Structure 1
C-alpha cells in the first residue's frame, strides 16, 4: 500500500470492499483458460523451427505488426511453435498485460473478443476515466474495449449488448424478391460488428443463495452502439434494465489503471464513509482521486452511538 495513503487520518476505512456483481471476474477464468506463459522458456533447449518469413523482418517492424493483432489471434499464433511463443512473449505491451492483468487476457480469449488489438488494450488500460462519464472506469467492456464504471454499464443502453436475433433485425436485404437474396443473419455476419461469445455461468448482482442469474448456454452478443443507428431504437426490458439482466455482465471485467509505463497498477478503492454521507459508496477512486476526495469531504470516522457505521467528518 502506498505510504502517502497510510499517513492519512482514518485511512483504514478507505479500503477495497468485497462487492460481488458476478461479472467475468467470477467466471472461474483460471480453470477455464489456464495460461502457460513462462512454462516453456528454457533457453538451454535449442529452437527447432523458425517463424517463417516473419523472422526476416526487422525487430521494430515485427513488434509493430504483432501489437496490432487481436489477442485471440495472437494467442493462436503463439501456439504454432516455440519461436512464435518467444516472439509473442517478447512484445512489450503483451508482456505487461500478462504480468498485471492475466485474468483480462483469459477473459478475452475465452469469450473470443477479437474486435481490438493488443496495443488498443494497453492504451485503454493506461487511461482511467469512464468512456461515458467523469468517474474512474474500474471495469472494461470487452465487446469493444472501453472503460466503464459500475453506474454506466448497469444503466446506459450502449453497454447492453444485443443477441443475434436482435442484431440481425437491423440488417435486412433490399433484394428480398430475388431467390438467392442474403438473409438478415448472413448480412450481419458479413458486416462483422464487434461481438463476443459469452461463457455459461451466473451473472448479475447476487440475490439469495444462488449468487446471480444462471446462463446455461453460450450466446453471441453484439455491440449495440455498432449495430443500432440510434440507441433509442430498441426498448430495454421493462422490468429488467439494470442489475438483474445477465447480458449486461457477460462482457464486463475489473480493470485497474496502468501507470508509469506499465510498471505499476492502481486497482482503486471504495470509500466506506460514502455509505452514509455525500457520495454513493459504489464509486471507486484511484490513489490521486482518493486524496482529493479525502480533502473535500474530510476523514472517515465511526458514527457516534452506531458502532460499525462510518461517515465523513468535517472537511480538513
Structure 2
C-alpha cells in the first residue's frame, strides 16, 4: 500500500483498522497489581452516585455550610482521598456535593484501579482526587512520549512498562534493605516521614514461583533526597544503591493498571498491541501498547499491520485468530472499552 492509500484508509476506516490489526493486551497487566472487577461490582454504584432521597439539611450553620457551591468544591479538591471519602459519609448533602465534583465523578467511573490501589497501599492520605484526575486524562508516560497504561502508586504518576522497568526514578526498595545499605538505623527512616507503600498479595510474575513481597516499600529516590538534606547519609550511598541494583518485581508491587480517559470522545483506553508486530507465540512483555490514535499513527508505518488490513479486505473478510490469545480475566474488559475513537 502506498502512503496515500494508507492515509485514506486510516481516515475512512479507523475503527475497522483498530479492530482488525490490534488484537491483544501486552502481558504486563499480569505482573502489576491486578483489579478484581467482580468483587468491586457491588461498590461501583455507590462510588459515582448520590442517594435517591434528596437531602433535607445543609452541611451546617458554620462556615462550610454558608460557602457558595463553587468554594465548597474548591475545598473538596484540596482534601486528601481518605478525608474526601469521610466527607462523603457525613450526610446526604455531603454526598450529593462530592458526587457533583467533575474530577471525582470521572475518577470514580474510570479510574477505580487508581483509587483502589492507593487505598490498599495505604497511600490515599497523601494524594487528592485531582492527583488521580490529572494522570487519568493524560495519555503519555510521565518520563517518555510513549502511551502509559500504568499508574505508579508512590507518586501517582502515569508510566509505561518500559520506563517502569528501566528508569531509576521508579526504583523501590524495602526500608530494611535500604537501612542496611546506607548503614543507618531503620528508625531514622520512620522519623523522616518517608512515604511507604503497604504491599498487597499478588503473583507479580509470569512463572509458577510464588513471590513473597516485603511488607513495605519506599521510593529510593525520595529516601535518598530526604536523608541527604538532613545530612544523615553521604553522597557515596547513591553509588552503593546503584551498584546493588533492585528487584524488578518490587516495582510491579507499586504499580497498577490505569486507563487514559480520552476527553475528546469520552472513552477510557487501556492500550493494546499491534498484531503486525506480534511474535509468533508467547507472552510479550516488551511489546509497545498504543492508544487508539497512537495505533493509527503506528499503522501508517507498519508494513505487517497494513498487510493484515489488506488480507481482511477492508475489514470485511475473515482473519485468523492470533496464536497468543490472552486468557486472563480482564482481557475482554479492556477491548470492550477500547475500539471506538
Return the TM-score normalized by structure 2: 0.70
User: Matched residues in 2 for 1:257 and 1:265: separation?
Assistant: 5
**5+ residue gaps in structure 1?**
174-182, 311-316
Q: Which moved more, 1:17-26 or 1:108-117?
A: 17-26
- Counterpart of 1:177? none
C-alpha distance in 1 between matches for 2:239 and 2:141: 21
Alignment deviations for residues 79-104 of structure 1 (CA, whole Å, 9 cap, x no partner): 23333222221211001110112232
Structure 1 residues 288, 184: CA separation in 2 closer, same or farther (over 3 Å shift)? same
C-alpha change, 1:282 and 1:29, in structure 2 (3 Å) is farther
Q: What does residue 196 of structure 2 align with?
A: 195
1:14 equivalent in structure 2: 22
2:272 paired with 1:269: yes
Matching residue within 259, 263, 273 for 1:260? 263
For 1:259-305, what per-residue CA distance to the aligned partner results, in whole angstroms no more than 9, with x for missing partners? Answer: 3279332222211221239x986210111111111101135246x9x
Higher relative helix content = 2
Distance in structure 2 (CA, Å) of the matches to 1:76 and 1:44 = 19
Whether contact under 8 Å (1:268, 1:286) holds in the other structure is: yes
Is 1:293 aligned to 2:278, yes or no?
no
**C-alpha distance in 1 between matches for 2:265 and 2:181:** 41
Match of 1:250 in 2: 253
Q: Tell me the residue number matched to 2:32.
A: 23
> Partners of 2:216 and 2:40 in 1: how far apart?
22
* 8 A Cα contact 1:172 1:184, kept in partner: no
User: 1:148, CA displacement in angstroms?
Assistant: 1.1
Alignment RMSD (CA, Å) = 3.8
SS at match of 2:107: helix
In the aligned structure 2, how far is the partner of 1:133 from the partner of 1:52? 47
- The residue that corresponds to 1:226 in the other structure is 222
Q: Where does 1:208-227 land on structure 2 (aligned, <5 Å)? A: 208=208, 213-215=211-213, 219-227=215-223
Tell me what 1:151 maps to.
162
Contact 1:14 1:269 (C-alpha < 8 Å) held by counterparts: yes
Pairing 1:89-108 to 2, within 5 Å after superposition? 89-108=99-118
Return 5+ residue gaps in structure 2 as ranges.
Answer: 1-10, 226-234, 312-319, 325-341
| 1:206 counterpart residue number | 206
Determine the structure 2 residue equivalent to 1:161: 172
1:52 Cα deviation from its structure 2 partner: 5.1
In structure 2, C-alpha distance between the alignment counterparts of 1:135 and 1:206, rounded to whole Å: 24
Tell me: CA distance 1:282–1:111, structure 2 relative to 1, closer, same or farther (3 Å): same
Partners of 1:155 and 1:241 within 8 A in 2: no
Give the Cα separation in 2 of the matches to 1:125 and 1:233: 36
Q: 1:66 to 1:256 in 2, by over 3 A?
A: same
The alpha-carbon distance between structure 1 residues 133 and 117, as it changes in their structure 2 partners (threshold 3 A), is same
Pairwise CA distance, 1:3? 8.1
For the residue of structure 1 that corresponds to 2:241, the secondary structure is coil
CA gap 1:45/1:272 in 2 versus in 1, 3 angstroms:
same
SS of residue paired to 1:213: coil
Give the match's secondary structure for 2:277.
Answer: helix
Aligned residues: 286
53, 59, 73: which is aligned to 1:63? 73
Q: Which has the higher strand share?
A: 1
Q: C-alpha distance in 1, partners of 2:303/2:275?
A: 12
The CA deviation string for residues 58-77 of structure 1, in whole angstroms up to 9 with x for no partner, is 22222122112221221223
CA distance in 2, matches of 1:70, 1:77: 11
